[in-house]
Amino acid sequence: MTPTSLFESEADGALVRVVLERGIDSPEGLTYRAPKSIGAVQVGDRVEAPLGRHDRRATGYVVEVNVEADIDVSRIKPLRRLTGLRLPISLIRLSRWMSGYYCCPLGMALSAMAPGAVKHGVGRRRIAVLTRTGKRPVEKLPKQTGAAWDAIVALPDEEFPIEPRELALRISAPTLGPINRLVKLGLLERGEREIVRTASDEPVGETPSLVTLTEAQRAVIDSITADLGQFASHLLYGVTGSGKTEVYIRVLEQVIARGECAIVLVPEISLTPQTVARFVGRFREVGVAVLHSGLTASQRHQHWMRIASGEARIAIGARSALFAPFDEAMGSKLGLIIVDEEHDSAYKQEDVPRHHARDVALKRAQLEGATVLLGSATPSLESWRNAMEGRYRLHELTERVGGAKLPAVRIVDLADELREDATNATRLAMLGPTLRRSLRSTLDAGGQSILLLNRRGWASYICCPDHRCGWTLTCDECDVTMVYHRSRELPIGGVVRCHHCLAERKLPGQCPVCARRVTTFGAGTQRVEEELTHLFPEVAAAGEMLRIDGDTMRSAKDYFEALGAFADGKVRVLLGTQMIAKGLDFPGVELVGVINADTAINLPDFRAAERTFQLVSQVAGRAGRSTRAGRVIVQTFNPDHPSITLAAKHDYKTFAREELAVRERSQLPPVTRMARIVVRHEHYENAMKIARGIATALEAVRAHRSSLRVRGPMPCPISRIGGRHRIAIELIAPDVGTIQAALTALRNQGLAKSDATTAVDVDPIALL
Ligand code: ADP
Ligand code: ZN
Ligand code: ZN
C-alpha cells in the first residue's frame, strides 16, 4: 500500500463515498472516513456506517475511494466495519445505469445486487484451520509425533490451511494427539477461516447423452459462436421442441473453452430439477452454481460464494441470477448471458428496482463485452422488432428435432359446445363434449393429458342472480371481485378471497341487497377439478389426476414433486394454471386441452392479444413431443380471434407482423416507448392532486419535447388496491431519450420518487 495519499491524513484514513441501501435518491452518496483499523477499503465493498444524529446502523456500498471532502472535515464520520461482501465494479456500474434508466434510487438498485442470504451471512461459520509455521523441530520428536511430522512436511503447499480433522485423515494419524503436540511445539499454527456450511446440495447431473446436432442447430451454433468475445445480441426463435437448449449448451461449451464465464436465466417456474440436471451434467467440471427460490438461505449463500470465488463458472437461475458476481478482475470474465423464454413476464420485477431482467442483461453484456442470447418459441414483440430492425441477429429453428411434428390444434367454439350440451347439463360444463371425448379416448389409450385454465379458485364472481339487482361481491379494500375458493375442511361453502390484498371471508349465502341466494360465475381450476372427478371417478380415485396452481403448490418442492409424478407417469391428467404451460418437456403428452383461451383476451391491457397468443402457443407446444402425434383442443368464445387462430396454426410470424401493425397504428410499445407513474393514496382527492402536479410538470417538458404524449391522470383499471386509490399517468414517446428526459425532469423536482405514494415503471408490462 502506498503511504499517505493526498486525501488521507495519516491518522484517519482515506475518505470514501458510500451509497446507503435505502430509498434516498442520492447518486453521489455520503462521505465517510475509512479508518485504517477496518482494513483497506475498495470500490464495491459493502460497509456498515453510522447515519444521522443518533448514528443509526446503516449499510451501503463504497462507490468511490480517495475522494475530497465535500463537507466540513470534522463532520465526516468513520465507517464502522467492512461486512466482508464485495461487489464487482461492473455491478456497481450496472446499478448506476439501472438507477438512471429505471428512475430508482441508486441505493435500491445496489441493494438488489446481492441476495439477502449473502448480506446476512446465513450459514457462515468460522472454522479452525492449521498452517505450517516453517519452523523445524529442535529436538527429536516422540515416535508418533515424528511420523506425523514427516508426513506433514511431505504434503504439498496447496493443502494448507487445512482443518485439523482433514489433516489427520490426510496423514493417516489415528487421533488428533500428534497434531496437537505439533501445534504446542510451534511447528503448526492455528488460524481461522470463514466458510459457508450448509446441508449438502450438490445438484444432480444427468449423464450427458451425446446427441448429434441437426444441421439447423449446427448452423445456429456456428453463427452465434463466430462472434464471441464482444458485445453482441442474438435472438433464437425456435419452435417448441426444436432443440434450443442443446444450442445453449454448445454455445456455453465454447464460452467456457475461451476461459470465460456465463449466466443462464430461466423463468423460476421452468427451473425444474430436469432443467438444472441438463446443465449440471454437461458442465460439472467447470462448476455450476444454481440460484433459485427452492434453496435454503445458506445454500443460496454458498452458491453465490462459489461464483464470487471463481469456483463456479456458470450460474443458472431465475431473474436475480443476472447479478451473479462474476468479476473480470478476479479472473472470471463474463462472456455470455442466455435468457431462455425471453418473452416471459416473470423477468419483470414489479417492485423497486422495477426492472426487466432481459433488458438489464443486455446492458450488463454491453458493459462487460459479453454476448447475449435470447431464446423463445414466442418472442416478445420487443425482441422480434429489434431483430427485424437489425439490432439483434435473428436465428431460427423451424422444426422439431427427431421428426416430431407440431401438434394439430383444433379450435372449438364454446357457444356450439354449450348448445350440444344443453340437454344433459344442469349447469354449464367446463369441458365441452369435444374435449370430454378426447380426454376419454386419450385415457383409454393410456396417454397423458395436460389441461390449462389460467384462473385459480372455484369461481371468479359471486353475484345476485337478479340482473335488476346487479349486486356483485367485491373486495372492501380493492376494486376487484372476490374469488370463491372451496375448502376441503369446510363441508359446505368455503371462503372468498381477494387475489390482490389477500383479504378473506366466508362465502355469503345470500345477496345483501335483495336476499336472493347468490350464484357464481367464471369457473377456476378448482371447479374443473371437481368436474373431472365427476367425469372420470376411477382416474381421480387412483390418484392419477393432479391440480397445479398457486393454491395447491405451496413451495418449489411441491411443484417439482408434482412434475416428477407426471414425468413418471403416475399422474395421467395434469390440470393447472400457466404454471404448467411453460418449458416442460414430457414426451408422453398426447392431449393438451385449453379449457378457456379467453381469460386474458379482454383484459384492458394492450398486450392482451400477445399474452393470449403466447399462452395458447406455449401450452400447445407441450403436446406431441415424441413420435406419437399430439392433439390440442382449444375451447374459446372467440374462435375467430387472430391470437387464437394463429396460435392454432403455430404461425408466430404472421401474428407478430399483424400485431406490430396494430401497435404501429395505435403508437404503442414496442413501436414507441412507455413509462407509467402510479400514484397511490388512501384518499382519492390526494392521489389526484399529486398526479395533477406530475401532469403539470410534464406539460412543461412537452414545451420542448413535443413528441411526448401524456395520458391521464386517470384511475387505473384496478382503481383501488389494499384501500389505496390508484391514479395512473402514462408517458409515451417515439424514443427512449424523450422518456428519460421527462423522468429526469420529474426526478429533479422530487416528483418521481419511488416511495409508498408513487411508483415509476419504465417499460411497464402490466397496465392494470
Ligand atoms: P426446446 O428448448 O427448443 O423446446 P429442447 O432443447 O428441450 O427443445 O429439445 C427437445 C428434446 O429434443 C430434448 O429432449 C432434447 O434432448 C432433444 N434433442 C435436442 N437436440 C437434439 C438432437 N440434435 N438430436 C436428438 N435429440 C435432440
Ligand atoms: Zn382486496
Ligand atoms: Zn340482489
For the chain, 768 residues long, the average pLDDT of each consecutive 10-residue run is 45 86 81 90 94 90 90 88 93 96 94 88 75 86 88 85 84 86 89 64 63 94 95 96 94 96 92 85 90 81 90 93 94 96 93 95 98 97 97 95 86 86 62 92 92 88 88 89 77 78 86 90 87 91 91 82 88 90 76 90 88 91 74 93 94 96 95 96 95 95 93 92 94 96 93 88 92
Q: Give the CATH number, domain containing residue 332.
A: 3.40.50.300
**Closest residue by Cα to residue 151 from 187, 185, 191, 127:** 187
Number of Cα atoms under 13 Å in the Cβ half of residue 422: 4
Distance CA 534, CA 449 (A): 17
Q: How do beta strands 709-721 and 81-86 pair? A: unpaired
Residue 340 in contact with ligand 1 by CB distance below 6 A:
no
> How many CB atoms within 10 Å of residue 641?
18
Q: Is 312 helix (H, G, I), strand (E, B) or coil?
A: coil
Q: Is there a domain that residue 539 lies in?
A: yes
CA 430 to chain centre: 32
Q: Give the CATH number, domain containing residue 680.
A: 3.30.70.600
Cα-to-centroid distance, 373 and ligand 3 (Å): 56
Residue 243 in contact with ligand 1 by CB distance below 6 A:
yes
Distance CA 713, CA 685 (A): 12
> How many CB atoms within 10 Å of residue 704?
9
pLDDT at site 506: 87
Residue 211 in contact with ligand 1 by CB distance below 6 A:
yes
Residue 214 in contact with ligand 1 by CB distance below 6 A:
yes
pLDDT at site 384: 98
Burial class (CB in 10 A: 0-12, 13-18, 19+), 153: exposed
Number of Cα atoms under 13 Å in the Cβ half of residue 235: 25
98-264-275-540 Cα dihedral, nearest 10 degrees:
20
**Closest residue by Cα to residue 539 from 526, 527, 549, 529:** 529
Residues 439 and 568 in one domain: yes
Residue nearest to atom 10 of ligand 1 (CA): 241
Residues 137 and 34 in one domain: no
Residue 380 in contact with ligand 1 by CB distance below 6 A:
no
Q: Is there a domain that residue 210 lies in?
A: no
Q: What is the pTM of this model?
A: 0.88
Distance CA 271, CA 559 (A): 11
Checking 344-351 for CB contacts under 8 A at 24+ apart, the result is 344/267, 344/582, 345/611, 345/765, 345/766, 346/267, 346/268, 346/269, 346/318, 346/319, 347/265, 347/267, 347/319, 348/765, 348/766, 349/319, 350/766
- Which parts of 284-404 fold into alpha helices (H)? 297-308, 357-368, 381-388
Distance CA 765, CA 6 (A): 50
pLDDT at site 389: 96
Cα-to-centroid distance, 258 and ligand 2 (Å): 53
Handedness of CA 273, 274, 276, 282 (dihedral sign): positive
> Prior bond to 353 cis, omega within 30?
yes
Residue 245 in contact with ligand 1 by CB distance below 6 A:
yes
Longest dimension (CA), the chain: 105
Q: Give the CATH number, domain containing residue 128.
A: 1.10.10
Residues 334 and 352 in one domain: yes
pLDDT at site 1: 40
Closest ligand 1 atom to 278 CA: 16
| Ligand 2 ion: Cβ-proximal residues, 5 Å cutoff | 475, 477-478, 498, 500-501, 503
C-alpha cell at 300: 443460496
Residues 365 and 474 in one domain: no
Closest ligand 1 atom to 217 CA: 23
Residues 288 and 322 in one domain: yes
Task: Report which bound ligand comes closest to the CA of 206.
Answer: 1
C-alpha cell at 12: 484517519
Q: Is 130 helix (H, G, I), strand (E, B) or coil?
A: strand
Residue 244 in contact with ligand 1 by CB distance below 6 A:
yes
Closest ligand 1 atom to 340 CA: 2
Closest ligand 1 atom to 242 CA: 3
Q: Is there a domain that residue 668 lies in?
A: no
Residue 217 in contact with ligand 1 by CB distance below 6 A:
yes
The radius of gyration of the chain's CA atoms, rounded to the nearest angstrom, is 30
The string over 203-219, giving b where at least 16 C-beta atoms fall within 10 Å of a residue's C-beta and e elsewhere, is bebeeeeeeebbebbee
- Domains contained in the chain, number: 6
Residues 414 and 384 in one domain: no
Q: State the first-to-last Cα distance of the chain, in angstroms, to the nearest integer.
A: 56
Cα-to-centroid distance, 681 and ligand 2 (Å): 15
Residue 621 in contact with ligand 1 by CB distance below 6 A:
no
Cα-to-centroid distance, 499 and ligand 2 (Å): 7
Domain that holds residue 52: 14-119
C-alpha cell at 666: 395505435
Task: Report which bound ligand comes closest to the CA of 247.
Answer: 1
Residue nearest to atom 25 of ligand 1 (CA): 211
Q: Give the CATH number, domain containing residue 67.
A: 3.40.1440.60
Residues 486 and 376 in one domain: no
Residue 270 in contact with ligand 1 by CB distance below 6 A:
no
User: Quick check: 399 and 564 in contact, CB under 8 A?
Assistant: no
Cα-to-centroid distance, 467 and ligand 3 (Å): 8
Task: Report which bound ligand comes closest to the CA of 517.
Answer: 3
User: Quick check: 746 and 697 in contact, CB under 8 A?
Assistant: yes
Q: If you ran DSSP here, which 8-state letter would residue 273 be given?
A: H
β partners of residue 396: 237
Closest ligand 1 atom to 238 CA: 3
Distance CA 406, CA 241 (A): 9
The string over 484-521, giving b where at least 16 C-beta atoms fall within 10 Å of a residue's C-beta and e elsewhere, is bbbeeeeeeebbbbbbbbebeeebeeebeeeeeebebe
Residues 611 and 730 in one domain: no
Handedness of CA 704, 705, 709, 715 (dihedral sign): negative
Q: Is there a domain that residue 46 lies in?
A: yes
Residues 470 and 541 in one domain: no
Closest ligand 1 atom to 248 CA: 6
Residue 240 in contact with ligand 1 by CB distance below 6 A:
yes
Residue tagged 451501503 (cell numbers): 60
With the most atoms of ligand 1 within 8 angstroms of its CB, the residue from 210, 239, 242, 245 to mutate is: 245
pLDDT at site 197: 59
Residue 144 in contact with ligand 1 by CB distance below 6 A:
no
Q: Is there a domain that residue 712 lies in?
A: yes
C-alpha cell at 326: 462474476
Q: If you ran DSSP here, which 8-state letter would residue 269 be given?
A: G
pLDDT at site 58: 92
**Closest residue by Cα to residue 21 from 78, 62, 64, 59:** 59
Burial class (CB in 10 A: 0-12, 13-18, 19+), 350: exposed
Q: Is there a domain that residue 85 lies in?
A: yes
Residues 225 and 334 in one domain: yes
Residues 598 and 544 in one domain: yes
Residues 245 and 340 in one domain: yes
pLDDT at site 113: 94
Residue nearest to atom 4 of ligand 1 (CA): 241
Residue 401 in contact with ligand 1 by CB distance below 6 A:
yes
Task: Report which bound ligand comes closest to the CA of 585.
Answer: 1
Task: Report which bound ligand comes closest to the CA of 209.
Answer: 1
